[in-house]
Chain A
Amino acid sequence: MSLTREGQVFAAGARRVLQAMDDARAEFNLLSNEPSGLLRVHAPGALAAWLSTVTPRFLERHPRMTLDLRLGSDRVDPIRGDIDLAIRFGALENSSLISRRIGSAATVTCASPAYLAAHGTPRSPADLLQHNCLSYSVALAQMGWRFQRGKHLLHGAGAQQLQLQLQPGRDGAAAGAGRHGHRAAA
């Protein structure tokens, strides 16, 4: 049995229609699985340098996403605030929130030679009580500075003369990040 000339023309046309439907379905699946839309993220200003390195990679990987990145030292609640994600240091106090550990920052305790010449050099965490200690993180300031020496956990934090509040889009932008409204296609 063989197709007539008209049947061959019809079969070829039908195959093209079926192929076009398969292509459309594949394209639809690709688009529906790709994250898209606006993601509003709040993060401590101390992470500005780190965010400036990971943000371009994120936007390149997700070209249909728009990122609204806000930096500040205040604690923003993802339930009450107009944000989708918050990056914070420290434990979660609200059980209705979901948290995932994304890392930890290796920190160093430091001061300028001029400050140490004027105020002395602390030899133990307890000595910090006599010094002006500046925290880059609200959580760190609230928890106090903790140190470990061998198996011993030690606390030590001094008076804080300054409370720093970075304003999103101003100080944050000056720090190298700030508010990003970005589409990869732009």
Chain B
Amino acid sequence: MVRLLVLAGMGIARLPDYMVEADLRSGALTMLLREHMPTDPDAMCIRANGT
């Protein structure tokens, strides 16, 4: 959904590279801030204690 909004020109997004790889290649999207490395939160698997 966010990808579609960015493609529609609604704003700037930070998206997983696999999601926009083809868009960047085709020129539909432009990569920004190339010299700045995004630092993202880790993906965590969470469960209740004792389950």
Number of residue pairs spanning A and B whose beta carbons lie under 8 angstroms apart? 207
Q: Mark B13-51, 1 if CB is under 8 A from A, else 0.
A: 111111110011001111111011111111111111101
Given A97-B48, A112-B8, A114-B9, answer yes or no on A148-B37 (Cβ-Cβ < 8 Å): yes
The answer on a CB contact under 8 Å between A162 and B5 is: yes
Contact of B41 among A97, A134, A143, A161 (CB under 8 A): A143
A interface majority secondary structure: mixed
What residues of B have a CB within 8 angstroms of the CB of A113 in the complex?
A: 27, 30
Counting CB contacts under 8 A, is A7 at the interface? no
The answer on a CB contact under 8 Å between B2 and A128 is: no
Given A97-B46, A136-B2, answer yes or no on A110-B20 (Cβ-Cβ < 8 Å): yes
The answer on a CB contact under 8 Å between B51 and A99 is: no
What residues of B have a CB within 8 angstroms of the CB of A87 in the complex?
A: 43-46
Q: In this complex, what residue of A is CB-closest to B44? A: A99
- List CB contacts (< 8 Å) of A105-121 with chain B: 105-116, 118, 121
Given A112-B28, A139-B41, A146-B38, answer yes or no on A88-B46 (Cβ-Cβ < 8 Å): yes
What residues of A have a CB within 8 angstroms of the CB of B49 in the complex?
A: 96-98
A93 to chain B, nearest CB (A): 10
What residues of B have a CB within 8 angstroms of the CB of A96 in the complex?
A: 48-49
Counting CB contacts under 8 A, is A153 at the interface? yes
A111 CA to B9 CA in the complex, in Å? Answer: 7
Counting CB contacts under 8 A, is A175 at the interface? yes
Known: A49-B18, A124-B33. 11 other contacts (CB 8 A): A46-B15, A46-B16, A46-B19, A78-B51, A89-B42, A101-B43, A102-B43, A111-B9, A111-B29, A112-B29, A115-B10
Residues of A participating in the B interface, judged by any CB pair closer than 8 Å: 45-47, 49-50, 78-79, 84-92, 96-116, 118, 121-125, 128, 131-137, 139-140, 143, 145-149, 153-154, 158, 161-162, 164, 166, 171, 175
Q: Which 4 A-B pairs have the closest CB atoms?
A: A132-B11, A90-B41, A147-B36, A115-B9
Task: Identify 19 residue pairs between A and B in the complex whose beta-carbon atoms are under 8 Å apart, listed by A's number.
Answer: A45-B1, A86-B47, A90-B41, A96-B49, A104-B40, A106-B40, A107-B15, A110-B12, A112-B9, A121-B30, A134-B11, A136-B14, A136-B15, A145-B14, A147-B39, A148-B39, A149-B37, A158-B11, A175-B1
